[in-house]
Amino acid sequence: MGNKGSKGAKSLRPPIKSDSRGFKFGNLANSGRDAGKSAPAAPSYPSNGPPPAPGQAPPQQQQQQQPQQTEEESDLEDDDSGPIEQVAIEDMDGPARPQTKVNVEDFDLLKVLGKGSFGKVMMVRKKDTKMIYAMKTLRKAALVKRNQLLHTKTERSILQSIKHPYLTSLTYAFQTPDKLYLVMDYCGGGELFFWLKKDRRFSQQKARLFAAEIILALQELHKHDIIYRDLKPENILLDLEGHIRLTDFGLSKEAVTGAGATGGTKTFCGTPEYLAPEILENKGHGKAVDWWSLGTLIYEMLTGLPPFYDQNMQRMYDKILNAPLRFPSFMSAEAKDLLTGLLTRKVSDRLGSGPTDAEEIKSHPFFKGIDWEAVLRKEVQPEFKP
């Protein structure tokens, strides 16, 4: 999980990954939930808003009449319960800025943003600079038990190595005998999921700019032969200007050179509503799975639900593989054409699967008038600020 503060907008869609044992896991936000036999219920609408802005302390807690520790106070304590497995993890120690050595004592722990099976994410303030960050704390014992060290190292590698306006970046990384710490950008606008459920659906203009920023983020990952594999509103954070940041790279895969099975991978992973057909069919997959997920996301932004959503997971999988793509009457012709191209089941025919990758999508009439260089420089202002 990233620095997600929209507490009322909890995801109903657990990401899943399976190996030969059928084991399922999610990111930090959702790792305690099993996808189970049935798909999640239809999305509910949140009651709480995004977290405090960077630089602002959260509201002070009222003093308790009783000396018992509150749940929030307990959450903010940096300790573990249960047996501790002490492991030194190569490539996980040291800050992302090597000239600066830090540890957990260098930060004030302000607010818990999310909790999961592997640890939690907290809003923190660095004591010397007063800068606000999101600190992901992961328990090594849980990571080792569920065989997640490799995915954590992959996330750290991506966060540290790729700097891009629309990707979450890593500022510090360090470890203790029992924990890993990743200190990242704090995005004060919360999840896109929160705002989508609040508005029910976005205007085409609003969805188009979000999509443009997401395309640039995915394009940057693809340039480094990385597929994201977990695009969904819960993994898209907003800054206070309304621009996006992709977060949660635990399901990402490095060294993927092709759009499809050639130069790809066969791991079954992702979020049920957003799974591409080639993942469900275990044919092998590559960069084009991200463009299928982009189509699913744009459809959800424009209509309020993913295109093949069903409360029964097996029926939903069958719809992803076989059902015709249907559009509401209010959707524009350009949007329908874009989504038809992105949600094409044959990988080689899918928009974005060609040698130019994202350029095919960027040149589609849906994005007519978009100045892509201006979007990259964040010169195109979003419709609203969180």
Active site residue ranges: 230
Look-up: residue for tokens 């508005």? Answer: 199
Helix (H, G, I), strand (E, B) or coil at 73: helix
Q: Which tokens is 156 given?
A: 């750290």
Structure letter (DSSP) for residue 167: B
Region of 10 please: left (phi>0), alpha (psi -120 to 50) or beta: beta
Region of 350 please: left (phi>0), alpha (psi -120 to 50) or beta: beta
Q: Considering only CA atoms, which of 99, 123, 280, 253 is closest in space to residue 188?
A: 123
| 72 close to 61: Cβ distance less than 8 angstroms | yes
Q: Which residues are annotated as a binding site?
A: 136
Q: Which residues are annotated as a binding site for ATP?
A: 136
| 88 close to 153: Cβ distance less than 8 angstroms | no
Hey, how many other C-beta atoms are within 10 angstroms of the C-beta on 54?
A: 18
Query: For residues 188 and 6, what is the distance between their CA atoms, to the nearest angstrom?
Result: 10
User: What backbone torsions phi and psi does residue 170 show, to the nearest 5 degrees?
Assistant: -100, 130
Structure letter (DSSP) for residue 174: E
Query: For residues 271 and 229, what is the distance between their CA atoms, to the nearest angstrom?
Result: 9
Helix (H, G, I), strand (E, B) or coil at 340: helix
| 286 close to 260: Cβ distance less than 8 angstroms | yes
Q: Which tokens is 235 given?
A: 């993994």
| 135 close to 122: Cβ distance less than 8 angstroms | yes
Look-up: residue for tokens 């969180």? Answer: 386
Q: Considering only CA atoms, which of 229, 244, 150 is closest in space to residue 192?
A: 244
